[in-house]
């Protein structure tokens, strides 16, 4: 048997380095992506890269859409339109193109897991770095849609890493005085639990490192999950709301 194969985008720095190393330690063959390998917003480059990976290994078992950027921490009126759209493209178009390229191979194999590195910003209203927030919110919808392929053996998850100390987070005004950081090891612990299939009940949903553990998520799933639990959706005003 060959080792399972994982593809990790944005693996040359930050969280991607830690997640790639953890997967390798767990026995995965890891294909590390970077802008030099295949810019995630370049459809042709992404498709060539995925085809090359499948050609060499014959499979992709796990896709980790980790590559991401943040726009300037200013309000919408002060934002730069070009940077705003580029941020959305990297954080949303990138995972979409990677998922679209990898998904047919997973469906053909009848198994596979896709993990989108997301953020709590997807689920809250902020008045700064709005492109990041919009992109991550839309990414949550992409995760939910991808998870609908579970009947074909493919599952998708939003993994929010908390605030890991990286070049990006250290440069952010929001974390200027931060003294507590999420350890990369706890992010990797959740990723590996997902990869092993231990958290398949959380397909299409968000899990958060530093708050959730594999054990706590398994225990919560055993109690039963409502359709809307840990998903992004409309909050109705009550049972008499005509929107259902």
Catalytically active residues, by annotation = 132, 136
Whether residue 95 contacts residue 142, with contact meaning beta carbons closer than 8 Å, is answered with yes
Torsions phi, psi for 180 (to 5 deg) = -115, 130
Task: Report DSSP state, residue 70.
Answer: -
15 CB burial (10 A radius; 0-12, 13-18, 19+) = buried
The CA-based dihedral angle spanning residues 34, 40, 46, 50, taken in that order and rounded to the nearest 10 degrees: 60
On the CB side of 160, CA atoms within 13 Å amount to: 20
The partner residues of 115 in beta bridges, in order of sequence, read 64, 157
């Amino acid at each position: 048997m060959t080792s399972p194969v994982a593809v990790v985008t944005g693996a040359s720095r930050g969280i991607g380095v830690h997640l790639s190393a953890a997967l390798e330690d767990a026995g995965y063959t890891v294909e590390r992506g970077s802008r030099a390998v295949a810019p995630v917003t370049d459809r042709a480059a992404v498709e060539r890269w995925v085809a090359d990976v499948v050609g060499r290994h014959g499979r992709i078992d796990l896709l980790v859409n980790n590559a991401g950027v943040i726009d300037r921490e200013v309000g919408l009126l002060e934002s730069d339109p070009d940077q705003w759209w580029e941020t959305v493209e990297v954080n949303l178009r990138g995972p979409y193109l990677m998922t679209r390229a990898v998904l047919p191979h997973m469906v053909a194999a009848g198994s596979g897991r896709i993990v989108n590195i997301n953020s709590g910003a997807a689920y809250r209203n902020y008045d700064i770095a709005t492109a990041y927030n919009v992109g991550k919110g839309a990414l949550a919808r992409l995760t939910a849609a991808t998870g609908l392929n579970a009947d074909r053996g493919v599952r998708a998850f939003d993994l929010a890493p908390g605030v890991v100390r990286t070049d990006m987070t250290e440069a952010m005004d929001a974390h200027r005085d931060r003294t507590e950081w999420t350890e990369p090891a706890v992010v990797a612990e959740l990723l590996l639990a997902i990869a092993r299939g231990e958290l398949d009940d959380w397909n299409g949903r968000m899990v958060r490192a530093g708050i959730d553990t594999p054990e706590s998520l398994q225990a919560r799933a055993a109690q039963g999950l409502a359709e809307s639990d840990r998903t992004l959706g409309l909050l109705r005003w009550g049972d008499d709301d005509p929107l259902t």
